[in-house]
Structures are given as C-alpha cells and as structure tokens.
Amino acid sequence: MELFDNLALGFGVAFTFQNLLYAFIGCLLGTLIGVLPGVGPVATIAMLLPATYALPPIAALIMLAGIYYGAQYGGSTTAILVNLPGEASSVVTMIDGYQMARKGRAGPALAAAGLGSFFAGCVGTLILAAFAAPLTEVAFKFGPAEYFSLMVLGLIGAVVLASGSLIKAVGMIVLGLLMGLIGTDVNSGVARFSFDIPELTDGVGFIVIAMGVFGYGEIISNLSKPEEEREVFTAKVTGLMPTAQDFKNMAPAVLRGTALGSALGILPGGGALLAAFAAYTIEKKTKLAPGEVPFGQGNIRGVAAPESANNAASQTSFIPLLTLGIPPNAVMALMVGAMTIHNIQPGPQVMTSNPELFWGLIASMWIGNAMLIILNLPLIGIWIKLLSVPYRWLFPAIVLFCAIGVYSTNNNTFDIWMVALFGVIGYGFIKLGMEPAPLLLGFILGPMMEENLRRAMLLSRGDWSVFVTRPLSATLLAMAVLMLIIVTLPSIKSKRQEAFVEE
C-alpha cells in the first residue's frame, strides 16, 4: 500500500526528538494564545509566526500546524468555561458547553471536545493522506486558465459559505486582490501603488494586514464594549471523564460531526466555522433520547458534534492548500504566507519534489492532535488560571506581542507604521460590518490570479473565451456561477441567514 509507505515516511520524519519538541511547543503556545478571548486562529498564527523564522522549514511547518490546532482547541476551552467565543468557530460550542459548565460538568464538556476533536483529527489526517496523491495528479493537468477558474471558484465559495452580506464580502475579496497587487510587478518590474516608498516596492506584508485587521481591530472593538461580568469557573474542574451514558450519547454525534466536517473542509471557503454551525444544526434536528438534556441546556452532543466537525474541517482544509496550492480560507492563506517565508511554494510540486516535508507535515498533524489531548486535559488548571487574568492586563501584552512580531518579520519599523494604519482600517471594517476574512484570502491570491490570467490570455492570444472552451476551466466556472445563483435564490437566502444566527 502506497498510502502506508507514505505515512511511514512521514512518521519517520516527524518522530524525531526535535520535531516532536516543536510540535509540542507549537501546541502549547497556540493554546496559550488561543485561550485568550477575542484572539482567533488568524491573529494567533500571525503573532506566533516570528517564533518559527529561525527554524528549518520542516520544523517550522510542524510547529505552525501545532499552533493552529492549539489555537482552535484553546478557543473551545474559552467557550466552555467563560461563555466567550475564543474564535468564531466555537460560537456554537459555547451554547451547550457553557451550560454544562454551569451545571458543574465542565470536565466532561472539555473531555468531549478534546476526545471528539482527536477522533476527527485522526480521520481527517487519513482522508488528507488518501486524497493528496490523486488530487496532485489532477493538479498537474491544470493549465493557467484552469488555475484562474479554480481561484475564482475558491473565492466565490469562500463568500458564499461565509456569513454576512454576500455583495459586501465580494467587495472585500476584490479589495484584497487589489492590495495584493501593491508592490513590484514581476513581469514588467514596475512598482505599482508604492508612492515612491522603497519599503512598499516589496508589497504590503501579509502579517501586517493579519495583525492590524484581525488583532488590533478586534482589541479596539472589544475595549469599546462595556466590561461585562465575566463568570469564569476558577473552581477546580473535577471529574474530567464523561460517564458511560455520555459516551453513548456523544459517539454518534462525533461520527456525524466528523463526516460533515471532513466533507465541508475540502470545499473552498468551508472550513471550521461552517462545519461547526452545520453539525450543531443537524444535532438539534435529531431526536432526543429519553431522559437526555435538551439542547441549549447542556447537552453533551452539542459540544461533541461541532468540535469534531471543526477539527475534521481544519484538517481537510489542508487538502486544497497542499495539492493545488490554493488556500481555502483565511487561516490557510496565512499558512501560504508562512510557507513562502520558508521558501516553499505550496502546490502539487511540494509532494513530488519534497516528499519528506509533505508527508512529515501530514504525520505531524496527527501528532499535533494527539499532543493536544495529552496537553490540554491535564493542563486544564493552567488555562483556567489564565482565563481569570483580567483583560486589562492581557490586552497591553497582546498589543506588545503584535508589535514585536511585526517588527521582527523584517527588522524594520516601517511595518509598525503600516500595522497602525491597518489597525484603524480594521476597526473601520468592524464598524461598517465588513468581514475581514475574504480580504486576507484575496490578498494572498491576488498576485497568483494575475499571473495565471496573464499566462492564459497570452497563450490564447487575447481570446477571453479560453476560460469557457477548455472543459475543466468551464466546469469550474460553471460551479462558481451555480453557487452564486443558488445562494441568491430567495428561499436559500433566508435559510443561509438563519444558519448563521444562533439563538
């Protein structure tokens, strides 16, 4: 079996003492920052990215994957214990998880989230390993026209499946694409939109945008809300293990969540957020067993299903990134940036030219998941302590780490002025109800899209019909158009709004 040979190669790479250590540090740091309320995975990864600069590429990616999982899991912990979503995808976990915690069952809730995530992570890793090779084959058949159409599909998918106003999200994508074009044009060497500022000829850094918009924008918006009474369960969490009945209830929910999450994660733009919402909606529709706690009052299925789904989705959303080089969501867009810093161009060629890195990364994802379980359940006391630290001590530290992180990217204070600018812009986005995630996605894809458009048009001698006469490209574009039509249908439109509104 080729699959197992590949996985064996991967585990061989990942199971060195050094790489295990980096996976561990990554999970630890990721959880540490991810636990903080209001700091999502995007801001967490951006903040911790500088910590990986000095590492060799494999170790750096392994550590980043650890940070990513840690950030995801940290968000759930915050949701269950404080009733504050550490990140968007744990909004639904909050509903039942917090109620469980209030009834003194915080332990089983955390364990359900942890075990469900671990199971989903294992399945997701296997799917990733199984699909990677065949999809890579397909990717090599892609010409520039197909790539361009695929990116259109990816971007449309990202906004269709996201929450909020569709047309405003499309606007954010286009804005992101435009910002991605700032800097020197690779073909002509012309510095575009750089206003004769030498630093801008290299373009705007993606860390600067991620930190300014996701980090500072969020902090300012958090501070503007009146300080609510945060009820933290600082009491010792006892009885971590769920009861036999709990296991019986949550097992099918975990399976359903995993299946749904794995499928949605592959879709462009799907990812963790949508998977969690969909899984919760499905659980709510299934019949309650006799004597089961209703949803919204602390049902363990309401924690297990969305947590499994979002972890499965975060796993499978690596598939489009690693095989096609196209990030399906904002977090993956950040991973592209991170890989580029380490001189790895994500795409089908990574697997063939650099199999150690590719399979090592996949194996380390499984290791990362396992580590989360080992790390989080026993260390839960530490995270609780961290959550009881007042916000007024936390936010100066977060701002400081952002500033240090931004500076250390290029060792240049210019990036600090830029992050200030994007902080103001990011706060403006929040005030105007403009979602920043599509912006980051567009920003990463901007240069790639232009390059592929150029090549496709050069090959077709300026004939735009090339995008619809090549069958693969036409199919991809048709799917994009179909998606747009479906969501604008009135009946679906109201459902879509419903799906993202929770009690």
Partner 1 sequence: MNIKSQKDFFAGLFYTVTGAAFAYGATSYNVGTGARMGPGYFPLLLGILLAIIGAFVMFKSLTVETQDGDKIGSWAWKPLLFIIAGNVLFGILLGGLPRFGVPAMGLIVAIFGTTLVVSLAGDVFKLKEVLILATILSIGSYGAFVKLLNLQFPVWPTFITG
Burial of 189 (0-12, 13-18, 19+ CB in 10 A): exposed
Interface with partner 1: number of residues (CB under 8 A): 66
CB of 421 to partner 1, least distance (A): 9
Q: Which is nearer to partner 1, 282 or 430 (CB)?
A: 430
Residue 435 has, within 13 A of its CA and on its CB side, a CA count of 22
Please report whether residue 170 would count as binding partner 1 according to CB under 8 A: yes
**Amino acid identity, residue 456?**
A
Q: Which is nearer to partner 1, 303 or 418 (CB)?
A: 418
Q: Which is nearer to partner 1, 354 or 410 (CB)?
A: 410
* 1, 4, 17, 167: residue in contact with partner 1 (rule CB under 8 A): 167
CB of 455 to partner 1, least distance (A): 10
Please report whether residue 382 would count as binding partner 1 according to CB under 8 A: no
Are the beta carbons of 466 and 459 closer than 8 angstroms?
yes
Among residue numbers 415 through 474, which ones bind partner 1 (CB under 8 A)?
416-417, 419-420, 423-424, 427-428, 431-434, 449-450, 453-454, 457-458, 460-464
Between strands 183-184 and 191-192, the pairing is antiparallel
CB of 32 to partner 1, least distance (A): 12
* 239, 296, 381, 396: residue in contact with partner 1 (rule CB under 8 A): 396
Among residue numbers 317 through 336, which ones bind partner 1 (CB under 8 A)?
none
Q: Which is nearer to partner 1, 207 or 403 (CB)?
A: 403
Please report whether residue 488 would count as binding partner 1 according to CB under 8 A: no
Question: CB neighbours (10 Å) of residue 225?
Answer: 7
CB of 335 to partner 1, least distance (A): 20
Q: How far apart are CA 426 and CA 412, in angstroms?
A: 22
CB of 219 to partner 1, least distance (A): 6
Q: Which is nearer to partner 1, 281 or 460 (CB)?
A: 460
Q: How far apart are CA 20 and CA 371, in angstroms?
A: 9
CB of 425 to partner 1, least distance (A): 10
Stretch that binds partner 1, among 62-70, 213-221, 234-242, 317-325 (CB under 8 A): 213-221
CB of 458 to partner 1, least distance (A): 6
Please report whether residue 174 would count as binding partner 1 according to CB under 8 A: yes
Q: What is the 3-state secondary structure (H, E, C) of 171-227?
A: HHHHHHHHHHCCEECCCCCCEECCCCCHHHHHCCCHHHHHHHHHHHHHHHHHHHCCC
- For helices 490-499 and 471-488, the axis angle rounded to 10 degrees is 80
* 131, 247, 391, 500: residue in contact with partner 1 (rule CB under 8 A): 391
Please report whether residue 171 would count as binding partner 1 according to CB under 8 A: yes
Are the beta carbons of 89 and 310 closer than 8 angstroms?
yes
Q: First-to-last CA distance in the chain?
A: 48
CB of 450 to partner 1, least distance (A): 4
Q: What is the DSSP string of 262-301?
A: HHHHHSTT-HHHHHHHHHHHHHHHSPPPTTPPPTTS--TH
Residue 77 has, within 13 A of its CA and on its CB side, a CA count of 33
CB of 404 to partner 1, least distance (A): 6
**Dihedral angle over CA of 216, 220, 221, 222, nearest 10:** 100
Please report whether residue 342 would count as binding partner 1 according to CB under 8 A: no
Task: Output the CA–CA distances (angstroms, integers) from residue 72 to 28, 44, 273, 411, 483, in the order listed.
Answer: 12, 10, 11, 29, 28
Please report whether residue 498 would count as binding partner 1 according to CB under 8 A: no
Please report whether residue 177 would count as binding partner 1 according to CB under 8 A: yes
Interior CA angle at 99 toward 93 and 100, to 5°? 85
* 227, 231, 292, 498: residue in contact with partner 1 (rule CB under 8 A): 227
Q: Return the residue matching tokens 């209830």.
A: 249
Please report whether residue 193 would count as binding partner 1 according to CB under 8 A: yes
CA 486 to chain CA mean position, Å: 25
CA 340 to chain CA mean position, Å: 17
The encoded tokens of residue 253 equal 């929910």
Among residue numbers 125 through 144, which ones bind partner 1 (CB under 8 A)?
none
Among residue numbers 40 through 69, which ones bind partner 1 (CB under 8 A)?
50-51, 53-54
* 223, 289, 485, 486: residue in contact with partner 1 (rule CB under 8 A): 223
Q: Return the residue matching tokens 């462009």.
A: 268
CA 331 to chain CA mean position, Å: 4
Among residue numbers 1 through 40, which ones bind partner 1 (CB under 8 A)?
none
Stretch that binds partner 1, among 131-139, 161-169, 354-362, 479-487 (CB under 8 A): 161-169
Residues of this chain that bind partner 1 (CB under 8 A): 50-51, 53-54, 165, 167-168, 170-171, 174-175, 177-178, 181, 185, 187-188, 190, 192-193, 216, 219-221, 223-224, 227, 391-393, 395-397, 399-400, 402-404, 407-408, 411-413, 416-417, 419-420, 423-424, 427-428, 431-434, 449-450, 453-454, 457-458, 460-464
